[in-house]
Amino acid sequence: QVQLVESGGGLVQAGGSLRLSCAAAGRTLIDVAMGWFRQAPGKEREFVAGISWSGETTEYTDSAKGRFTISRDNAKKTLLLQMNSLKPEDTAIYFCAAKTGAIVTWDSAWNDWGQGTLVTVSS
């Protein structure tokens, strides 16, 4: 089991940037994919970005492409999400997650979850 703690959320104006961090503890991260999901008010939790254990494979939801960058440092057991050109529709609670094996976009396949950090983007 991996323990995950997110940080870095806050209030930002549209067009601004935030960097989310996720600190991991517990099992060794070998062959563990990590990712970010978000849940907006009244909406289902959705996939935002994922990264393979090696860091060589990344996936993004269409709305995040070109604006968000996911990265990881396995030695530091840290996952990052750099979010640029933020839009009001990015407002949500953001969760980091981990799973064994490859990246997938459906949340039921992910095993470990953080408690979330709130991102609010104002116009």
pLDDT at 30: 78
Alpha helices in the chain (DSSP H): none
Residue 46, H or E segment: strand 46-51
Q: What is the pLDDT of residues 29-50, one digit of tens each?
A: 678 999 999 999 999 999 999 9
- Asked whether the predicted pLDDT for residue 121 surpasses 80, the reply is yes
**Whether pLDDT at 83 is above 80:** yes
Q: Which two tokens stand for residue 114?
A: 């953080």
* Burial bucket for residue 47 (CB in 10 Å: 0-12, 13-18, 19+): buried
